[in-house]
Structure 1
């Protein structure tokens, strides 16, 4: 009887530890969408893997939209989004909001419109529905693979373990089912959206911002292999050529990144987020 009580106590203690210390059963929840495939559910405040995560009423990884602020639109995928391993305060967009507020001496809010594995066409579909939030500047953070990363409406919510629509009720079960079992099955969290055509979102975003007179530029983020080789791959060169042909200002992240800024093959650690904030801040201030 004593052993059973001890086991129960240890089980409960472990459950509490997984929840309170690591944020199990407090995952960012996602919803399917007929236009831009999927996005984080609105109005979320999470504590996950010791990181604070916020999504506002428009499913942006930002605080509530401040209509009185000087709005800048940041568009992108998981690199800009940061994921559950990046604290809200460590995001390039959060840092940029604070630094530009000081430098420009007015309230600046950089909205983080992003989701894992989104391409430029996902971003355009989002803006088609919600508009540009009276933004004065917009930028797209993309990578070489986005050249052909076309929307295909592949079902991912509640199919891919990284895109749940509801919480687990038991932390032990989430640890086993979402992580340990996925490792055993060798499942990838990446979403396959390879296409043959150049992503139409690049041109659609340019047209949208041209029509309403919003300055628009692109940050081309290199993956770790490109940093090691010191050059973009063929798809990256396609994006560079497109921007040149269409007079879209392009910032080459390859000039500023090194291996120590990465936490995996493409995503950035806190220092990498700082570098993006630093260079975007310089560019925006110089071009105001």
Structure 2
């Protein structure tokens, strides 16, 4: 019995120190975003540091008011922007963009801030909900980073929050407890499955969310820009037929709305993209550096980045149509 207890203690310590189990990033329900990362968290997973500030952003604490000599970019997205457990805080896409923008010195700003508002599996309606909840933080640019799957994202929800081991709402008593929970098979709730089975023009609804996001950003004297990263399989086989149609709709939408839009698919196909991916969809640390540099050069050329706003006068109108 003594050896058994000792073995459990050793296993517990190993899982905590080596993998960071027992201290997962926590989530909270939100009527607008469906869910978001719980504020004010600092932890390590598999050696990578994760810090969440008071506004559920992955990043340091920030001021609501932007300094007048600062270019502030609010980057919004899903797990590609968030970086997940596989990305250390220092390697985030938002920080890579910030580092790449600084030497370009657009419009002679003295400093650059890139904020990271993101969560795993968010789609356009979650991201609109975040901006409706918190505003744009007086950012001159709101940069929405999508991937192909986001065009088919379901409505914001919190049905399986605390039930799905990937979205815990409280810390487990033991690291062993978390390890066991993550190895068990997980079945989505009936309510969540109903959302996935819901019929209708899901792409059209998500494009409407982008239109409303544009209105909110422009009402706050900002500019919305959109970038799209491809799935790894799209680099060899190209998008599937339904994905190609959705992508064409996004391109047409961006042109009709006058939105700067960067599709990374052609660039990824023309470069050695293997080191840029962590898995089938997410970027590696090298991918974050490469994409961050490309985004910085594109933003510097595509957007008028002069300071057109007056800090403290941000307006956030209600959306024209409830997408929830």
Normalised by the length of structure 1, the TM-score is 0.89
Work out the number of aligned pairs and report it.
281
Q: Using the TM superposition, name which of 63-72 and 200-209 deviates more.
A: 63-72
SS in 2 for 1:74: strand
Give CA-to-partner distance per residue, 1:191-216, whole Å, 9 cap, x none.
96565241121101122223333222
Measured in 2, the distance between the counterparts of 1:99 and 1:17 equals 38
User: Which residue of structure 2 aligns with residue 71 of structure 1?
Assistant: 72
User: Which residue of structure 1 aligns with residue 254 of structure 2?
Assistant: 243
Measured in 2, the distance between the counterparts of 1:233 and 1:216 equals 23
- Structure 1 unaligned spans of 5+: none
Q: Which segments of structure 1 move beyond 4 Å, counting only runs of 4 or more?
A: 190-195
User: 1:181 and 2:192 equivalent?
Assistant: no
User: Which residue of structure 2 aligns with residue 24 of structure 1?
Assistant: 21
User: Which residue of structure 1 aligns with residue 136 of structure 2?
Assistant: 132
Measured in 2, the distance between the counterparts of 1:65 and 1:11 equals 41
- Structure 2 unaligned spans of 5+: 306-324
Matches within 5 A, 1:1-288: 4-66=1-63, 67-68=66-67, 69-104=70-105, 106-153=110-157, 155-178=159-182, 180-182=183-185, 193=196, 196-197=201-202, 198=204, 199=206, 200-231=208-239, 233-257=244-268, 258-286=273-301, 287=303, 288=305
Higher relative contact order (CA 8 A, sep 6+): 2
Give CA-to-partner distance per residue, 1:135-186, whole Å, 9 cap, x none.
01111101223223241525121122210001111111211112x213xx58
Q: Using the TM superposition, name which of 227-236 and 239-248 deviates more.
A: 227-236
SS in 1 for 2:184: helix
| 210 and 186 in structure 1: CA distance in 2 versus 1, 3 angstrom threshold | closer
8 A Cα contact 2:138 2:222, kept in partner: no
8 A Cα contact 1:148 1:196, kept in partner: no
Measured in 1, the distance between the counterparts of 2:218 and 2:180 equals 49
8 A Cα contact 1:32 1:38, kept in partner: yes
Measured in 1, the distance between the counterparts of 2:248 and 2:165 equals 33
Measured in 2, the distance between the counterparts of 1:18 and 1:256 equals 40
Measured in 1, the distance between the counterparts of 2:12 and 2:80 equals 31
Give CA-to-partner distance per residue, 1:71-123, whole Å, 9 cap, x none.
11101111111111111111110122233234326221111111111111211
Measured in 2, the distance between the counterparts of 1:57 and 1:50 equals 23
Normalised by the length of structure 2, the TM-score is 0.80
Q: Using the TM superposition, name which of 274-283 and 227-236 deviates more.
A: 227-236
8 A Cα contact 2:27 2:35, kept in partner: yes
TM-fit CA distance, 1:281: 1.2
